[in-house]
Structure 1
Amino acid sequence: MALHRRNGTPFGKGNHDLRQNGSVAYTNGHHKSNGTVLTDETAHPKASKVGKKDFSESFEEVELLTALVTYMSYIILALVGYCRDILMRLGIDKDKAAQESPKLKAFTPLYQDFDSFFTRHMYRKVRDNWNVPIAGLPGAESDLLERYSDDNFWSFKLTGTTRKVINIGSYNYLGFAENHGPRSDAVVASTQYYGNGVCSSRQELGTLALTVELEKLVAEFLGQEDAITFGMGFATNSLNIPSIMGRGCLIVSDRLNHASLVLGVRLSGATVKVFEHNNMESLEKLLKMAIAEGQPRTHRPWKKILIIVEGIYSMEGSIVKLPEVIAIKKKYKCYLYLDEAHSIGALGPTGRGVVEYFGLDYRDVDVMMGTFTKSFGGSGGYIAGSKELVDYIRVNSHSATYASSTSAPVVEQVLSTLKTIMGRDGTTVGQDRVEALKRNTQYFRRRLREMGFVVYGNDDSPVVPVLMYLPAKMTCFARECRKRGLAVVIVGFPATPIIEGRARICLSAAHTRQMLDEALKIMDEVGEELGVKYSRHPLPPLTDKSKME
């Protein structure tokens, strides 16, 4: 079955010729201001009318000395680790890590590789900052289960007590992860009627009336013809990209795309080329070369070309330059796959994501993907697009064929939340929360930069990476914040470049100004104590505080 665009051009077929009429004017979006702030303004004629005039992103480069010290830190950790491995082999030190069975000596070892080494000697030393159990909902405030270790973090024991903290680590962007109110009441009623599980895949007996209603509402919300939902956000990418792409196809992927997209690309069997993050010059140069050269060995035209980008990049806090991507996509007759896992609900005047944020036409995005795990307080994901595309995925998707369907309580949570965002519940709660998230985001980001922290990403992105660089300072920052009543997520190598360890903050509409001020106070104290205010160009404090309200 061939997929077709709305204009009748087949999705599954079609050759790509570099010789096409028309030209597109655009910039790479990197206009440096004082050497640190990159202000992105598209120059495409259409984008100039719909683009964001205040679209700005900050990516301050690390100082050379800080980078060298960070590299040295990892080198020292590795040397100490190798020394300990020698002591363990001599029987002087005890190794509590997973070991190969003596019966499997003839087999390739499963554990004694770099990943195991990194886990034993680096991750283990800081693992008290990960997998922290909570004893309540992941709201603006949470209760953490306190624990301790008496064997150097090989294992943990619970103390039986909890600690209340301000939570700036969960993806609860609109604050709909809650345990009371009309949405929670609807979930309870749905559970009583449908039960807890579906016990079937979508292609068998796993399609509920609620599921059909949700898919219609998602398509309407996104301005698309149809939509299909899945029970897991990660699988929405990894198991559906292979259903629309295959051998003889080309996928052009942003270098910082999520692991679920990377896995989906690998499983598809398509040729993949990676362009520099959010760099339009890199994207177009890559496309020109790929189209001119054609497929490897045969040099035949590609069956189809798919550009894959994200709305908000979850580690960088940056927003895709969608007007420029769409302009390039149209120029080279490619398809566009947009992952809105973090941007749906969090961007745009009414929470409809990055397309609405730029004021673009939803139909210019061929495949719109998103998840329900962030702004909607549920789980699962969706793909929206033309009816031909969605019908094709319903039949060919491994997730629709083999994975269990989303349970009724989760579907009801997402459905009732979506109705609230759209104002279908007769209130302005959804709109109020979208606006509150934007205010909280801009306020928190500016205050951090005024304090002297290096903050990555776009001014409108609720994902706020705060650079710590050194692994020791990064882990101490999380521990000290937690002691003071602030839960912070830290991310380091290999999830980030080795010299770009960071605290990743996720803001929520549920955060009050008092909570944000308390969080900023704690971060300011800990930042001064640890010396992690690395910015060489902090913002001056606003004299008119009303502008931050």
Structure 2
Amino acid sequence: MTESSTNKLLNGDACHRTSNGRKSSKNGFVKNHCSLQLPQNYSRPREKNQNGTHNSSLYKKPFLESFEETPLLVAVFTYMSYGILTIFGYFRDFLRNWNIEKCNMAQEREEQKDFVPLYQDFENFYNRNLYIRIRDTWNIPVCCPPGATMDLGERLTFDYNWTFKYTGKVMKGIINIGSYNYLGFAENTGACNIADVATTQKYGVGVSSTRCEMGNLDIHGELETLVARFLGVESAMTFGMGFATNSMNIPALTGKGCLILSDELNHASLVLGARLSGSTIRVFKHNNMQSLEKLLRDAIVHGQPRTHRPWKKILILVEGIYSMEGSIVRLPEVIALKKRYKAYLYLDEAHSIGALGPNGRGVVDYFGLDPKDVDIMMGTFTKSFNGAGGYIGGKKELIDYLRCHSHSALYATSMSPPVAQQIITAMRIIMGEDGTTQGAHRLRQLSENTAYFRRKLNDMGFIIYGNKDSPVVPMMLYMPAKIGAFGREMLKEISA
């Protein structure tokens, strides 16, 4: 089947040379995804369009993302670096095997060799020979609330990062650029802290039961009502763990005879949930609407394998903001395809809720779309709200079904009351229901910080990925030696 001119425009990719002063070779281009002009009659073939045939843009503002390709020289040196480290890793393993060099990694004793191995040598190769070299830049103990600045515990190593000794000193005022505290609610002062303390005194810190038994408190119902109103959906349900919100609810929504179309860069929780469902899984290229439409078209035309029966259900899995790439889902186009092929849409807004849109209501708010166009709206409270757990929002029938069939709801312990109160207070501040403009100020500050940070990194010559409005800013270092050196130099510069 040949592609129409409309389908060829779905990706809207254009390549432009870099503009930050770096010399670009044949692979030194930036891929920009720009706003598209698509006809309003983007509907199922042979269906009568009730809205007319006049042109209308799917995007209300330019949609710009950049993924600069790695310069050839940098790519060559990166592969060489990992190759050299791997060769020396095998050489050092040879020395350890002959007891010439001491190995401090966990390993089986000689009398356990006949049993099933607890530690696979090859699986630990990276930790043993690569990660250990830069381990000192990770897992540094934080000695205060992880706000805009942090206090870190000083530690030293005398055996090349195998073990650490804490000096008792604290490095104060370290700038925090590594957490998902988008709106700055990770603090031990202010309205959230006052409300959390009062809730702890009233309910305690836990309920020790599931929602369907003895763990259903009035504060949980208050939270779910507020979440539904915040999202603009009929109903919502909350869960105590964000990862389980995906991994335990997707199996309740799809099963054998269903098809899941998953973005290739989806989070591990989405991937696990899709696998546990028993559904057929097909992966489309990241944010590539041509790839998604091809899979949808093939699913409609050919049906299930061998029997060719129609799929019971087709579910599209996407994220709002992709946490490793900093890109934003092209939601208007996904919704257009979803409507055209009568599929269902599952949107994971773990990183976009509270961080995108003029009202902080996520990627749907960012694009100015109707929340009803998304069948399952999922998100977590661990980022912008500085809480824990996740939610699913949608039609009342959907939520009522999940209350009876979701393993995360039936078997998991209820959300801690102080955590629920933290989310309620933060959400009301974002919505402006606290009587102040603090929420609007935090959203505006996040947007300004994002634009400033990206602009300055570009001016300094760094290669960064993602959408211009994404608060997730991946900065590429490539070579493994740079990772440790970069972290150590930043810590030295800030603490000096």
Could you state the TM-score of these two structures normalised by the residue count of structure 2? 0.91
Alignment of 1:71-90 (within 5 A): 71-90=79-98
Specify the alignment match of 1:55 in structure 2: 63
Measure how far apart 1:141 and its partner are. 0.4
Q: Does residue 349 in structure 1 map to residue 332 in structure 2?
A: no
Q: 1:103: how far off?
A: 3.7
Deviations 1:202-227 (A, max 9, x none): 11111111110110110111111100
Counterpart position of 1:122? 130
Question: Does residue 28 in structure 1 map to residue 11 in structure 2?
Answer: yes
The counterpart of 1:44, out of the listed 38, 45, 55, is: 38
Aligned residue identity for 1:120: R
Q: What is the letter of the counterpart of residue 226 of structure 1? A: S
Residues 344 and 353 of structure 1 are in contact (CA less than 8 Å); yes or no, is this contact kept in structure 2?
yes
Give the CA deviation at 1:88: 1.1
**Does structure 1 retain, via aligned residues, the 8 Å contact 2:58–2:333?**
no
Question: How many Å apart are 1:239 and its aligned residue?
Answer: 1.1
Contact 1:230 1:382 in 2 (8 A): yes
Q: Where does residue 334 of structure 1 map in the other structure? A: 343
Question: Match for residue 384 of structure 2?
Answer: 375
Within 2, Cα distance between the matches of 1:203 and 1:298? 40
Q: Say if 1:287 and 1:106 are closer, same or farther in 2 by CA, change over 3 A.
A: farther
Query: By how many angstroms is 1:115 displaced?
Result: 2.0
8 Å CA contact 1:421–1:431 kept in 2: the answer is yes
Per the alignment, residue 201 of structure 1 pairs with 210
Structure 1 residue 463: Cα displacement: 0.5
Q: 3-state SS of the aligned residue for 2:369?
A: coil
Indicate if the aligned counterparts of 1:33 and 1:39 stay in contact, CA closer than 8 A. Answer: no
Work out which of the residue numbers 109, 113, 116 in structure 2 matches 1:105: 113
Superposed, 1:393-472 pairs within 5 Å as 393-472=402-481
Cα offset for 1:29? 2.8
Q: Which AA in structure 2 matches 1:40?
A: C
Q: Judge conservation of contact 1:50–1:360 (CA < 8 Å) in 2.
A: no
Q: Which residue of 1 aligns with 2:158?
A: 150
Shift of residue 450, structure 1, vs aligned partner: 1.4
Task: Give the residue type in structure 2 aligned to 1:458.
Answer: N
In percent, how many aligned pairs have the same letter? 61
Matched, 1:68 2:68: no
Counterpart code for 1:141: T
2:144 counterpart residue number: 136
Kindly provide the CA deviation profile for residues 357-414 of structure 1, in whole angstroms up to 9, marking residues without a partner as x: 1111100000000010110011111000111111111111111111111111000000
Alpha-carbon distance, 1:26 to partner: 4.9
Q: Select between 92-101 and 388-397 the one with higher mean Cα deviation.
A: 92-101
Amino acid across the alignment from 1:198: V
Q: 2:254 aligns with which of 245, 254, 275?
A: 245
Deviations 1:66-101 (A, max 9, x none): 111111111111111111111111111111111124
Q: Deviations over 1:481-523 (max 9, x none)?
A: 111128xxxxxxxxxxxxxxxxxxxxxxxxxxxxxxxxxxx9x
Partner SS for 1:127: helix
Q: Which amino acid aligns with 1:36?
A: V
Partner of 2:52: none
Structure 1 residue 49 displacement after superposition: 4.1
Amino acid corresponding to residue 318 of structure 2 in structure 1: V
**Structure 2 CA distance, aligned partners of 1:44 and 1:212?**
42
Q: Which residue of 1 aligns with 2:21?
A: none
Letter in 1 for 2:491: R
Identify unmatched segments of 5+ residues in structure 1.
Answer: 1-17, 487-521, 523-549
User: Does the CA-based 8 Å contact 2:134-2:483 persist in structure 1?
Assistant: no
* 1:430, distance to aligned residue in structure 2 (A): 0.6
For residues 303-339 of structure 1, give each alpha carbon's deviation from its aligned partner in whole angstroms, at most 9, with x where no partner exists: 1011000000001110000000001111111100000
Deviation at 1:266, TM superposition (A): 1.3
Matched, 1:283 2:292: yes
Which moved further from structure 2: 283-292 or 208-217? 283-292
1:180 corresponds in structure 2 to 189
Residues 2-32 of structure 1: CA distance to partner in whole angstroms, max 9, x if unpaired? xxxxxxxxxxxxxxxx9xxxx9885213122
Tell me, what secondary structure is at the counterpart of 1:115? coil
The alpha-carbon distance between structure 1 residues 184 and 471, as it changes in their structure 2 partners (threshold 3 A), is same
Corresponding position: 1:95 with 2:89: no
Equivalent of residue 267 in structure 1, options 265, 276, 280: 276
- Show the counterpart of 1:525: none
Q: Is the 8 A contact 1:50 1:359 kept in 2?
A: no
CA distance in 2 between counterparts of 1:179 and 1:50 reads: 43
Q: What amino acid maps onto 1:299 in structure 2? A: H
Secondary structure at the aligned position of 1:154 is classed as coil
TM-score normalised over the length of structure 1: 0.82
Residues 188 and 453 (structure 1 numbering): CA distance in 2 closer, same or farther, change over 3 Å?
Answer: same
Matched residue SS, 2:391: strand
Describe the superposition over 1:252-286 as per-residue Cα deviations: whole angstroms up to 9, x where unpaired. Answer: 11111111111111111111111111111111112
Q: Name the CA distance, whole Å, in 2 between partners of 1:406 and 1:45.
A: 46
8 Å CA contact 1:38–1:56 kept in 2: the answer is yes
Q: Distance in 2 between matches of 1:430 and 1:125?
A: 42
